[in-house]
Structure formats: structure tokens, C-alpha cells
Chain A
Amino acid sequence: MAERGGGDRGGFGRGFGRGFGRGRGRGDRGRGRRGGGRRDEEEKWVPVTKLGRLVKEGKITSLEQIYLHSLPVKEHQIIDTLLGGRLKDEVMKIMPVQKQTRAGQRTRFKAFVVVGDTDGHVGLGVKCAKEVATAIRGAIILAKLSVIPVRRGYWGNKIGKPHTVPCKVTGKCGSVTVRMVPAPRGAGIVAARVPKKVLQFAGIEDVFTSSRGSTKTLGNFVKATFDCLMKTYGFLTPDFWMETRFSKSPFQEYTDLLAKPTKAILLENTEVVEA
């Protein structure tokens, strides 16, 4: 909570400083109201999806199990439970977008939020809403839903923990292409401000980057680096040559647990009370 507040304020300052006064009032009001009564709703998560139920029961302990079976994540609380406190978020930009109506312009705010645990997981969320705070909140949820594993490797000599990208990868979105090249230890993240933030959240310590296209468009720039990071696990290297040993999908393993109805029991109780 505290981190989010700090991150937001940092984002706000950056976004607003770029010369846009109209929304500031709205944003401040939103910020002020937040914090108090929120805790209650967040505790009572009633999972709707099968995956949600398994995560809540504690049968699934790591995100990697979800990635292994390519299970779609539909509830952000799943990520919260699995990554919890380690997840930090940062608002990259609040972009006002407008639509023309006969009564003037209808402005909405588009929020770009990057979420990550600085140890191999990043997520990117984009949300547009009429109020800044709503947009940021929605974008954080979407970012959590889109968390991706990032593969790290070595530049040379496999000593210590992996610190850089495993190989040269490139990602593209719109006209922006971002290319990441493995770098030796100590090089640091050699990138522009925007991709640097994303790579820090991913947990990559050293990397050389090169970009092309209209990197001014932050939306595309950030999506291109995200796409690039997605590809790190898509690249077939010799360590993946071994035959996969398939394991049971969690839906099959815990089919008895999932078969137990949850809503039915609640309905029964209320009916009994009424009768």
C-alpha cells in the first residue's frame, strides 16, 4: 500500500509535470479519498475461476506451475497471493486522450503501469478511464494479470546468479523495435529511461539495448520492451533440447477438490434461514 502511494506520487509528478493542469484537481481528490475503507473488500476474495480456487486453497504455490500448463489467469488476486509483497508497481505515464462530442471534448486518462518483483517477473497494464485514480487502479490490476516470466542468462562464465539476457532478443510494437543484447557484469542497464524501468522490474542487471522507431510514443516503447522480455523464454536454446516430461495439469490433479461446490452451499444456507 505504502509503496503504491509512493510510486503513484512519483508517477503523478512526472506525468503532470509535463504540462497538463486540468486533471490535477481530479487526481488529487482521488488520492485523498483512498486508503481508508479499502482493506475490507480486499480480504474477502471469493474466487470465481478454478485456478483462483486452487490458489486460495494453497494447492498452487508458485507462478511457475501456472506457466508450465499455460493456464490463463483471470483474477489478479491470484498474482497477489503468489507474489504478494514482493510486487512493486510504477506508473509510467498518464496520457490524456480525447474524443470529440458535440458538446466539446470528452477527455479520458490512459494509465501505463509496470509491475514487477525485480526477480524474473514483470507485468504491463494499460487502462483508460474517466478518472486518473480509476485508470491507475485498473491498470495495476491488468498489469498483475499479464505477469510474465523473464529468462536471465550469462554473458560468459557461468559464475554466480544469471544477470543478463540469455541471448540477443528483439521485440516490436507499432514502429518501435527494442533490441536487447547480453552484457558483462557491471555494465548495468544501458537503456533509455523508459525501458530501463521495465528492465529493473524484471530483475535484469546488465544489458545493452538498442531501439528504433518512434520511441517518443511511450505506449509502444514500453510494449515493445515487454514483448522483448516475453521472447526470452520463447527462444530455443540447447538446454531445452531434452524431451519434456509431462506432468498432470493442476485441474486434473485436484479434480476432487474442484468438484466440491462452493456457491451451492451458500445458497442452501440462505434458503434454510428464509424457510
Chain B
Amino acid sequence: MATRVLSQKEQDIQMMLAAAVHLGARNCDFQMERYVYKRRNDGVHIINLGKTWEKLQLAARVIVAIENPQDIIVQSARPYGQRAVLKFAQYTGAHPIAGRHTPGTFTNQLQTSFSEPRLLILTDPRTDHQPIKESALGNIPTISFCDTDSPMRYVDIGIPANNKGKHSIGCLFWLLARMVLQMRGTIPLGRKWEVMVDLFFYRDPEEAKEQAEEEAPVAPDFGAVPDYGAMVPNDQWTTEQWMPEVGAAPAAVPPVAGVEWTAGQG
């Protein structure tokens, strides 16, 4: 819409709009009313993204204030949030829990998985209600992405957002991670982050398998030598890929068998 250069905040909000972060649920919890702009004719509540951005900043400040990032636990029971949680933890140094939260991880000191985090980040207070209950017993502050119909009990910082769509959750975790890294100074402000948002999106298992199959025959073209023996099975190499690869491969050693090929190159 705007023809001038957009500020960082405006660019982020544009991305959030594309990811449908602003679309809430048809019900609205009374504590989330302050973040809702309006209710559409079809019943969907529209979340004020400016407030979402501010809450993200607040959450990022809290995350940065924890000296040891390993003491932060990011959690998602829902499949849509699991990849995002793992990537977030990878880039910020937090500890991810994807999948089922074993009851007692924060309260039962006899459990092997017992941990006492300083901070808890969740994707949905409704599905992740068990960690919320336990953190209340253990003096653990909780940050969570809350939809318009999410219960806010024991959630200390609620970030109003759509936590139902996979693009939305991915986008939010990407933004939060980028904000944390910018505040820590790892990434300079203003510049684009090389990590793509798509990395945080949930991939369906079929989608993931298709992509892996696409990558397998494509990889030898790149000329990455150590990969040859590992990635492609000997039969495929000698019968199909061999002829077109003669030109591409730098060495002129004629292969007798796949094994010798790797021995010569590796």
C-alpha cells in the first residue's frame, strides 16, 4: 500500500498479515478484549497487530534478561508448533520440548526429566495447560501466544495472535527469535535476517518426504564430492547418473564400480 520504504515494524506487520496472524477465533475471552480491534461480520475477531508487535518486543526483552538461555523452555504439544519451537531453540539457545509434556517435569524432583526452568514459552494455553499448571507451582513466569479465546490464567505475558494456523505460528516464532537475537546484539538492527521464515513453518510428513525425494537426484549436480558415495546407491550411479556426470566431474578416472569411485575421490 505505502510507496515509501517501510520501517522494520511495518514490514513485520505486513508479514504477519500475510501469515494471517491477525485472524482470531470466533469467541473472545474477556481478558483478550483489549487486543481485539473489531469483530468481523462472519464472527471472526480481528487482532490489533500493533499490540501484537509490542507484546512480542516485551516478551523478547524478558527472554534476553535471562542470563543463561538454557534455563528457558519453549514448548508445543501441537504438531503445528513443534518445528517452530525446535528452530527457535536452535537459534536462541533455549531448551525445546516438542510433543507431550510429561506431567511432573517441573514438580517431581524424582523424575529423570525433572527441570527447573527460569522461563516458559508456550504456543497455546489451552493445549499446553499442563505446563502452565506446573509452572504456577514452581514460581516459573510464563509467556504464551494467546488467541482471542485462550484462557489467560497463570499466563504472565500473553501475546495476542492466531495460534491455529501453521504459517502464523511459524511467523511468530521467527519474529520472536529475530527480536531476541537483535536485542542480544547477535544480529545488527535494520538488516534482514538470513534465516527464512519458511524454516519455522510446519511441514506435513508427505510434503517433507516429497522434498527429500526431489533433493536426492539433484544433489550430485552440485559437485559435492564426499556426498557421492553416501547419498546415491551404487546401481543408480553407474547406470543412470554416470553418463551425464562424466562432463561435470573434474577427475577423469573411469569407474569400474561404485566402491572404487569413492575410494579414488575420497
Which of A's residues lie within 8 Å of B, judged by CB?
Answer: 48-50, 69-72, 74-75, 249, 251-252, 255-256, 258-259
Other than the given A251-B118, A255-B118, A259-B68, 13 more pairs (CB < 8 A) read: A49-B109, A49-B116, A50-B116, A69-B139, A71-B139, A72-B137, A74-B109, A75-B109, A255-B67, A255-B68, A255-B71, A256-B67, A256-B68
Does B37 make an interface contact (CB < 8 A)? no
* Residue on A nearest B71 in the bound complex, by CB: A255
- A263: shortest Cβ distance to chain B, in Å? 10
Does B48 make an interface contact (CB < 8 A)? no
* Residue on A nearest B108 in the bound complex, by CB: A74
Total residues of chain B contacting the partner, CB 8 A:
12
* Residue on B nearest A48 in the bound complex, by CB: B109
Within 8 A of A (CB), among B133-187: 137-139
Q: Which residues of A contact B118 (CB under 8 A)?
A: 251-252, 255
* Residue on A nearest B70 in the bound complex, by CB: A259
Q: Is the interface of A mostly helix, strand, loop or mixed?
A: loop
Q: Which residues of B contact A251 (CB under 8 A)?
A: 116, 118
CB-defined A-B contacts under 8 Å, sample of 27: A48-B109, A48-B110, A48-B114, A49-B109, A49-B116, A50-B116, A69-B139, A70-B139, A71-B139, A72-B137, A72-B138, A72-B139, A74-B109, A249-B139, A251-B116, A251-B118, A252-B67, A252-B118, A255-B67, A255-B68, A255-B71, A255-B118, A256-B67, A256-B68, A258-B68, A259-B68, A259-B70
Instruction: Mark B43-72 against chain A: 1 for CB-CB distance below 8 A, else 0.
Output: 000000000000000000000000110110
The CA of A255 and the CA of B71, in the complex, are separated in Å by: 9
Q: Which residues of A contact B109 (CB under 8 A)?
A: 48-49, 74-75
* Residue on B nearest A50 in the bound complex, by CB: B116
Q: Which residues of B contact A249 (CB under 8 A)?
A: 139
Q: Which residues of A contact B138 (CB under 8 A)?
A: 72
The CA of A256 and the CA of B68, in the complex, are separated in Å by: 8
* Residue on B nearest A249 in the bound complex, by CB: B139
Q: Which residues of A contact B116 (CB under 8 A)?
A: 49-50, 251
Q: Which residues of A contact B137 (CB under 8 A)?
A: 72
* Residue on B nearest A52 in the bound complex, by CB: B109
The CA of A74 and the CA of B116, in the complex, are separated in Å by: 12
